[in-house]
Amino acid sequence: MREIVFDTETTGLDPRDGHRLVEFAGIELNERVPTGRHLHFYVNPGRSMPPEAQAVHGITEDFLADKPGFAAHAAELCAFLEGATLVAHNAQFDIRFLNFELEQCGLSPIAQELVVDTLELARKRFPGAKHSLDALCQRFGIDRSGRVVHGALIDAGLLADVYVELTGGRQIGFDLAVSVMEAHVGEVVDWPMRSWPIPAEEIAAHEAFVAGMKEPLWLKQAGSA
């Protein structure tokens, strides 16, 4: 079964209020195991970045100034998502923005039946508990030390691990890896591990991006603690 675990960042809460998508990241899973394939891009929203949104994800207008609009990524995105079940945390938020952008390009929206919401899965499994991505990572012992700010690629990687735990745990990927290894006895098989390996160049780019930010919100909070 092919699935795409994805996340988005935006300028605000609702496209009907003039807000737009500014970042998309999706990670491909096959039978709950990362394949190593992903899609990640930034979008120039054609509007200003509200300070409250920038405080969440750290993406500035200057950073987005030379990025193309969503239409430049639409065909690649549709090809990447085709035939897959889509997985997101609080999925209605992300799907609302994706469908708005797709419809602006004259493309068909994503059907609701193709979407799995990990927030709903978490609420059913752990009623009364905290269900944020951070809380679920802590519950499952998933390392989130690289999550300095909200970023679509980092969050999608964390969510992929959370999703595996919510739908059966590590044994799913382990059993599949064992079956593949048995089928390739005597061969060197480069099989992906459970945790999503973020490419080194993207980690370096993210660190450089964070280092160049002026007075980020988390440092102000730390100074006032």
> Would you please indicate which residues are annotated as catalytic (active-site) residues?
150
The span from the first CA to the last CA of the chain, in angstroms, equals: 46
3-state SS assignment for residue 188: coil
Contact 12, 95 (CB under 8 A): no
- Amino acid in the structure at residue 216: P
How do 115-117 and 85-88 pair as beta strands? parallel
DSSP lists the bridge partners of residue 3 as: 29, 85
| Cα separation, 115 vs 2, whole angstroms | 12
Residue-level length of the chain: 225
Q: Which amino acid does the sequence have at 51?
A: P
**What's the CA dihedral at 200, 101, 51, 6 to 10 degrees?**
-40
